[in-house]
A = this chain, B = another copy of it.
Amino acid sequence: MSIKRNTEKCYCITFRKAARKLTAYYDRMLLSSGVTTAQYSLLINLFRSAPCSVTALAKIMKLERTTLIRNIKPLIETGLIQDLSKERERDRQLTVTEAGLTTLEAAQKLWEKAQAGLKKHVGEKKLEKLMNTIADLDYPAQG
């Protein structure tokens, strides 16, 4: 049994914590719109591509399709998204509803404030550099 007590910081955990903090900031900013940051992302992406199937939207958003199905659910229930496809039709035709557009408009304004606030706080150059770095990151297949 030889377990090291002191190890370097875990890159993964550090990253996850930062992502949570950042999410909390954005969610706080979007609070009055009634949607979360993930939901805003879903709405704006659907808005751009509607009418759109779940699979197509998942590809656009680079999200697991089954995750998207789950994320869409509360938005359909609250009437922000609707499915125009017919009974027994395979491809869904998701669109943003009128109510969804109203929400989206409000959320976008808040989101812009969030982006601007972050830029101001962190520094745009630093932020851009950071984003470019992490967006390009890919990982070893096996290690």
Contacts and interface: CB of A to CB of B under 8 A. Distances in A.
B19 A19 contact: yes
Task: Report copies per complex.
Answer: 2
A29 B143 contact: yes
Given A122-B137, A130-B133, A15 B10 contact: no
A45 to B, nearest CB: 9
Contact of A117 (B130, B134, B140): B140
Interface residues of A, number: 62
Contacts of A3: 44, 47, 101, 104-105, 108
Q: Name, among A7, A101, A112, the residue most crowded by chain B CB atoms within 10 Å (CB to CB).
A: A7
A12 B8 contact: no
B108 A10 contact: no
A85 interface: no
A29 to B, nearest CB: 5
B15 A134 contact: yes
Interface string A87-128: 000000000000001101100100111111110111000110
